[in-house]
Amino acid sequence: MKQYDAIIIGAGQAGPSLAGRLTKAGMTVAFVERHLFGGTCVNTGCMPTKTLVASAYAAHLSRRAAEYGVVRGSDVQIDMSIAKGRADTVSANAREGVEKHLRGMTGCTVLQGHARFESPTTVRVGDERLTAPRIFINVGGRAYVPDMPGVGQVSYLTNTSILKLERVPRHLVVVGGSYVGLEFAQIYRRFGATVTVVEMGPRLIGREDEDVSLEIRNILEGEGISVRTSATCIRLAPHDEGVVVGVDCTDGPPEVIGSDVLLAVGRRPNTDDLGLEAAGVSTDAKGYITVDDELATNVPGIWALGDCNGRGAFTHTAYNDFEIIAANLLDGAHRRLSDRISAYALYIDPPLGRVGQTESQARASGRPLLTAKRPMSRVGRAVEKGETLGFMKVVADAETKRILGAAILGTGGDEAIHGVLDIMNAGATFDVLQWSVPIHPTVSELIPTLLGDMKPTP
Ligand SMILES: Cc1cc2nc3c(=O)[nH]c(=O)nc-3n(C[C@H](O)[C@H](O)[C@H](O)COP(=O)(O)OP(=O)(O)OC[C@H]3O[C@@H](n4cnc5c(N)ncnc54)[C@H](O)[C@@H]3O)c2cc1C
- What is the arithmetic mean of pLDDT over 144-163? 96
pLDDT tens digits for range 21-73: 999 999 999 999 999 999 999 999 999 999 999 999 999 999 999 999 999 87
Lowest mean per-residue pLDDT among 171-180, 231-240, 282-291, 361-370: 231-240
Please tell me the distance between residue 139's alpha carbon and the centre of ligand 1 in angstroms: 8
Whether 32 lines ligand 1, by a CB cut-off of 6 Å, is yes
Whether 35 lines ligand 1, by a CB cut-off of 6 Å, is yes
Whether 41 lines ligand 1, by a CB cut-off of 6 Å, is yes
- What is the arithmetic mean of pLDDT over 364-385? 98
DSSP character string of 118-174: EETTEEEETTEEEE-SEEEE---EEE-----TTGGGS--B-TTGGGG--S--SEEEE
Please tell me the distance between residue 288's alpha carbon and the centre of ligand 1 in angstroms: 14
DSSP character string of 24-61: HTT--EEEEESS-TTHHHHHTSHHHHHHHHHHHHHHHH
Ligand 1 atom at minimum distance from 180 CA: 1
pLDDT at 354 over 80: yes
- What's the pLDDT at 105? 98
The residue ranking higher by pLDDT, 233 or 86, is 86
DSSP state of 288: P
- What is the arithmetic mean of pLDDT over 170-174? 98
> What is d(CA 287, CA 310) in angstroms, rounded to the nearest whole number?
9
Q: pLDDT band at 216, cuts 50/70/90?
A: very high
Q: pLDDT band at 458, cuts 50/70/90?
A: confident
Please tell me the distance between residue 328's alpha carbon and the centre of ligand 1 in angstroms: 23
195 phi and psi angles, rounded to 5 deg: -135, 130
> What is d(CA 13, CA 323) in angstroms, rounded to the nearest whole number?
11
Q: Which of 24, 38, 25, 15 is nearest to 105 (CA)?
A: 24
pLDDT at 249 over 80: no
Please tell me the distance between residue 29's alpha carbon and the centre of ligand 1 in angstroms: 21
Q: What percent of the chain has pLDDT over 70?
A: 100
pLDDT at 168 over 80: yes
Residue whose CA lies nearest to ligand 1 atom number 47:
35
CA–chain centroid gap for 262, Å, is 17
pLDDT at 74 over 90: no
Residues 6+ apart with CB under 8 A from 79: none
Ligand 1 atom at minimum distance from 313 CA: 19
Please tell me the distance between residue 129's alpha carbon and the centre of ligand 1 in angstroms: 25
What are the contacts of 247-256 at 24+ separation with CB within 8 A?
247/198, 252/228, 256/173, 256/196, 256/198, 256/226, 256/228
> What is d(CA 291, CA 297) in angstroms, rounded to the nearest whole number?
5
Ligand 1 atom at minimum distance from 114 CA: 42
DSSP state of 440: S
Residues 6+ apart with CB under 8 A from 162: 184, 262
- What is the arithmetic mean of pLDDT over 204-223? 98
Ligand 1 atom at minimum distance from 116 CA: 41
Ligand 1 atom at minimum distance from 115 CA: 42
Whether 347 lines ligand 1, by a CB cut-off of 6 Å, is yes
pLDDT at 259 over 90: yes
Q: What is the mean pLDDT of the chain?
A: 97
pLDDT at 239 over 90: yes
pLDDT tens digits for range 115-124: 999 999 999 9
Q: pLDDT band at 223, cuts 50/70/90?
A: very high
Whether 9 lines ligand 1, by a CB cut-off of 6 Å, is yes
Residue whose CA lies nearest to ligand 1 atom number 12:
314
Please tell me the distance between residue 308's alpha carbon and the centre of ligand 1 in angstroms: 9
Please tell me the distance between residue 48's alpha carbon and the centre of ligand 1 in angstroms: 13
Whether 10 lines ligand 1, by a CB cut-off of 6 Å, is yes
- What's the pLDDT at 457? 92
- What is the arithmetic mean of pLDDT over 273-298? 98
- What's the pLDDT at 114? 98
